[in-house]
Copies of this chain bind each other. A is one copy, B any other.
Amino acid sequence: MNNPVTSHPKLVTSVAQLREILAGVRREGKRIGLVPTMGALHEGHLSLVRASKAECDCTVVSIYVNPSQFGPGEDLDRYPRTLEADLEALACCGAELAFVPADGEVYRAGHATWVEVGSVAEPLEGRCRPGHFRGVATIVLKLLNMVGPNVAYFGQKDYQQALVIRRMVEDLDVPVEIRICPIIREPDGLALSSRNAYLSPDARRRSLVLCKSLHLAGELIDQGQRNARVIAQRMRQVITTAEDAQIDYIALVDPNTLEPVDEITGPTLATLAVKIENTRLIDNCLLEPKR
């Protein structure tokens, strides 16, 4: 009996029931926080739940593997689904509500509307995964409309996604605040990701090249290196020490526009996407040159 006493979140599966419960919460003047997830929850997700708990009275965690953000040949079918463990984890964090919609509750017959974000959605992941951000923007807007939260929480691990959502919320005047919370890492530096579960022990070891290359980028900038091409080249060398690494991109970009940077003169995002043993991993780090 070492477990602390925990209370399971209320499990809600229909939009109608969700709206009814939250209308009551809202009438009481309570603040609602939303943490949208695809399940397979890890400490990264749970840190978002804790951030919501800290400033909201009712935290809703949605768990939905959104088919529209997966491309053909991507991992929709094998994406990890661990609902029971997810609900246990949410109980430990004290999330009030788990919204786990059935597929038919989300995309109904005749669905024909998509949210298209340009600009920050176009490079990097947008180029590698056509249609991905269309699916992300659409599902997030749907969830925001279903829940009507005061605040919604996203992880910096998916930096570009967070930027795309910020853009959408600003452009469409969605009445919600967006918080972006820090990346959570394993003790050895690997950024937490539900997809890490795909990695064999050996690939898990090789996947450390991602955070190592970001670390190197930081060191180089600390040492005075200002040439983005040189830094990216050195990062590439680190990545390719993992023999089977397939690089989708390694980029140094403006953290607001995601436009490529030539010379490091201010805050810069180092970001990369790499396949290790056919598992596509992403990671990023916000770097700032000291004066």
Range, interface on chain A: 20 to 34
Shortest CB–CB separation between residue A160 and chain B, in angstroms? Answer: 13
* B residues less than 8 Å from A120 (CB atoms): 112
27 intermolecular pairs with C-beta atoms under 8 Å apart? A108-B170, A110-B119, A110-B167, A110-B170, A111-B171, A112-B117, A112-B119, A112-B121, A112-B167, A112-B171, A113-B116, A113-B137, A113-B168, A113-B171, A113-B172, A115-B115, A115-B116, A116-B116, A138-B172, A141-B172, A142-B171, A142-B172, A142-B173, A145-B172, A145-B174, A145-B175, A148-B175
CB of A15 within 8 A of chain B?
yes
Q: Find the B residue at minimum CB distance from A176.
A: B145
Bound form: Cα–Cα A138–B110 in Å: 19
User: A76 at the A/B interface (Cβ < 8 Å)?
Assistant: no
What does the 1/0 interface line of A138-182 toward B look like (CB < 8 Å)? 100110011010000000000000000001101111110000000
A138 neighbours in B (Cβ, 8 Å): 172
Q: Is A185 an interface residue (CB 8 A)?
A: no
Q: Which residue from chain B places its CB closest to the CB of A106 in the assembled complex?
A: B173
Most buried by B among A146, A148, A173: A173
Number of this chain's copies in the complex? 2
Task: Give Cα A111 to B171, complex, Å.
Answer: 6
Residue A118 is within 8 A (CB to CB) of chain B in the complex: yes
Give the residue name and chain of the B residue nearest to A115 (CB): B115
Query: Which residues from B are CB-within-8-Å of A142?
Result: 171-173
- Residue A275 at the B interface, CB < 8 A? no
Contact of A173 among B121, B146, B168 (CB under 8 A): B146
Q: A145-B173, A145-B175, A173-B142 are in contact. Are A112 and B118 (CB under 8 A)?
A: yes
A19 at the interface (CB under 8 A from B): yes
Cα A170 to Cα B112 with chains together (Å): 10
Which residue of chain B lies nearest to A257 when distances are taken between CB atoms in the complex?
A: B110
Please give, as numbers and ranges, the residues of chain B lying within 8 Å of A15 by CB-CB distance.
Answer: 173
